[in-house]
Structure 1
Amino acid sequence: AVYEAENIFQLAKQNHEKGFITQKKEERPTETSEVFYSNQEFHPMLFQQHSSMPHKEFDSFNEAVDEFFSSFESQKLELKAVQQEREAMKKLENVRKDHDQRLEALEKTQNIDKQKAELITRNQELVDRAILAIQTILANQVSWEDINDMVKDAAAKGDPVAKHIKQLKLEINHITLYLTDPYAEPLDSDESNDENDDQLPAMVVDVDLALSAFANARKYYDLKRSAAKKQQKTIESQTKALKSAERKTKQTLKEVQTITNINKARKTYWFEKFFWFISS
């Protein structure tokens, strides 16, 4: 390795060596996807580890050095502009992402409320019996702790109503029921999924003890309609906000590019990074 280095050194002394500047491809986050190449290092030859990198070749090493330092400040301005553009685009992307997440959450809420309402409707008799059972016990002034024990004992004995009661929320006059679709049929491997689209998934549903099964179902339908209205308002408001964010982003990108072009209008020589003056 030492002899090889010595040979390279002697060869460099005897021959007129070229110059190389290795570069890195930088993509601008704009609609046109512009790119520019930032200078990384300068060398008197193109080393093997740099052969796959973008690079510029010069007739002499001195020219490569002069180009590297002469463009140093403009390169810094360009990289700063790219960073500002990326930050502006990231803010816009966050606005879009937040918009999509809000709509997705509202859509999910609507589907869940609709399914809960339909499950209560399909299990109307069971829900009414559960409400009546708890109301009767409460009317007898039984303590909440005893009621909870009674429900657990009844469920353990296989009571068809008690086994669906999963939680008592008597502090808010609610109970939680585990409801399944009574009309659901086992999915046959030979049947298509389209034939089972109307089947509802099992889920836990909070039921108000002050309301009947029908009234509880209607409450969930009302919640579903309320979420739908909120979704529509969100779409309208977020669309305006998104358009405003896009305008601001485009304006920011335009301003960044304008400032960069102004700063780059005058060529900065390599020696200007040092203290210098023009002598008489």
Structure 2
Amino acid sequence: MQLQQEMTNRQRQAQGTLERMKTELESRVAGLRHQEEHCLRQALLIEANLVDVDHALQIIRAALASGIDWKEIEQMLVLERRRGNPIAQIIHSLQLSDNEMTLMLSSDARTAATSRSRTAARLNKTNDNHDSDNESDDGDHDDDDIPNEPQEEDESIDDRVELVKIDISQSAFANAQRYYEQRKKAAEKEMKTIEASEHALRAAEKKALKVLAGTASKNKRKKTAPLNTLREIRKSHWFEKFRYFITSENYLVIAGKDSQQNEQLVRRYLEENTGDLYMHADVHGAASVIIKGRGNRPAPPLSIQEAAIFAAACSSAWDAKVAVNAFWVYPEQVSQSAPSGMHLNQGSFVVRGQRNYVPVTTSGSGPMVMGFGFLFRLALQSVWRHLGERSIRSQEVNTSPTWATQSQDNGSCVGGCEVHR
């Protein structure tokens, strides 16, 4: 009875794993397709309103070039909306700190003007509610210009218009092309995601069938065997799907096996305010490495040195047999937000601020040497015998270690990126 229950549990576990993988794949692909459709729709809306978008860009650029205060520009925009200025009515809001503005665009030319007028009137009313002083100053000479429109509750954007973010530094055509490029990147990422996920699904299905076949075979052999011959299968730890090792001071160090694992590793397991450190070999395409903190304490120098060797060994420097430096930074310095003009590939990140370099050589101090080891899981009654092993043998790392070279970086990518000029 217990053997049958074991086989049933394994079947459910294998089936559940496959279903979770399929659900995750469908969710990621759906998200990427939604992004493609959104970018295409935004580009088409800009192309359908090229003249109006260019006029809006010219107005805002002229106001900025004349040195007018940003708040005054927004107030002028409100007044022009009230006066029925068609260009002002398509401008929904300004994000001048990001050099962007949001426009209300529609592909239906017959209803676009009416929709924008209604939306602009509601925006003006919202602005008046937030600024009663402006209402009293402007009401005497501008109220006659506001069209009487029916009131709609809980709506500030008409269904017939869509909000489109525009880069003020680019032309209308260039903004449309930017959305087309974003759509292309999303489509490429979708294809790569599908290919990688299908490969992973096939491997998981093959593994599940192998496990089930092995379980069935063992079930036949164990029908006449005593029940005490059953052994519990060890449950894998979360980090075992990555490359990993334990430092001499008992710190867990993890590295991605490919670009997809690099992205997963940083997104899910690199945590701020926990003592985690991010490490990367100073060579293109190297793996992302995380040193997990212990008790909110970052790893000391010896563990960082060992992690640097590990990072170098997980890069092309290992095959080339060349010395390469590695650097570590804090989690808050690692970002997936690419600077303007740069596209981050999957598994790539932008590192900003001070980098702490650790030298790795092919011989001598800090040699690039790797080996295999065995880990044993202790029984609970044996844990106390090993307390204090792998203790810290060096001082805790601080923000300015004397054993590492420091370098200031305003923001460059690691793991691979493309620069568009």
TM-score (norm 2): 0.40
Q: State which of 65, 71, 91 in structure 2 corresponds to 1:139.
A: 65
Q: State which of 199, 218, 221 in structure 1 corresponds to 2:177.
A: 218
Residue identity over aligned pairs, in percent, reads: 30
Deviations 1:240-266 (A, max 9, x none): 111111111112222232333333234
Deviations 1:67-119 (A, max 9, x none): xxxxxxxx233123212211111111111111112221111111111111110
Q: State which of 237, 246, 249 in structure 1 corresponds to 2:208.
A: 249
Greater RCO, 1 or 2 (C-alpha within 8 Å, sep 6+): 1
Unpaired runs of 5+ in structure 1? 1-74, 187-199, 269-280
Count of matched residue positions in the alignment of Structure 1 and Structure 2: 181
Is 1:180 equivalent to 2:106 in the alignment? yes
Tell me the SS of whatever aligns to 1:217. Answer: helix
Is 1:154 equivalent to 2:80 in the alignment? yes
Partner of 1:45: none
Partner of 2:189: 230
**Using the alignment, how far apart are the partners of 1:112 and 1:138 within structure 2?**
30
Tell me the SS of whatever aligns to 1:161. Answer: helix
Tell me the SS of whatever aligns to 1:162. Answer: helix
Is 1:207 equivalent to 2:133 in the alignment? no
Verify the 8 A CA contact 1:180 1:203 in the aligned structure 2: yes
Is 1:129 equivalent to 2:88 in the alignment? no
**Using the alignment, how far apart are the partners of 1:183 and 1:95 within structure 2?**
45
Partner of 1:107: 33
Partner of 2:313: none
Deviations 1:160-185 (A, max 9, x none): 11222122111111101111113467
Partner of 1:265: 224
**Using the alignment, how far apart are the partners of 2:2 and 2:79 within structure 1?**
76
Partner of 1:16: none
Partner of 1:80: 6
- Residue 213 of structure 1, CA deviation: 0.7
Q: Which has the higher helix share?
A: 1
- 1:222 aligned partner, one-letter code: E
Unpaired runs of 5+ in structure 2? 113-158, 228-421
**Using the alignment, how far apart are the partners of 2:5 and 2:82 within structure 1?**
70
- Check 1:249–1:129 CA distance in 2 against 1; reply closer, same or farther (3 A cut): same
Partner of 2:23: 97
TM-score (norm 1): 0.59
Q: CA RMSD in A?
A: 2.3
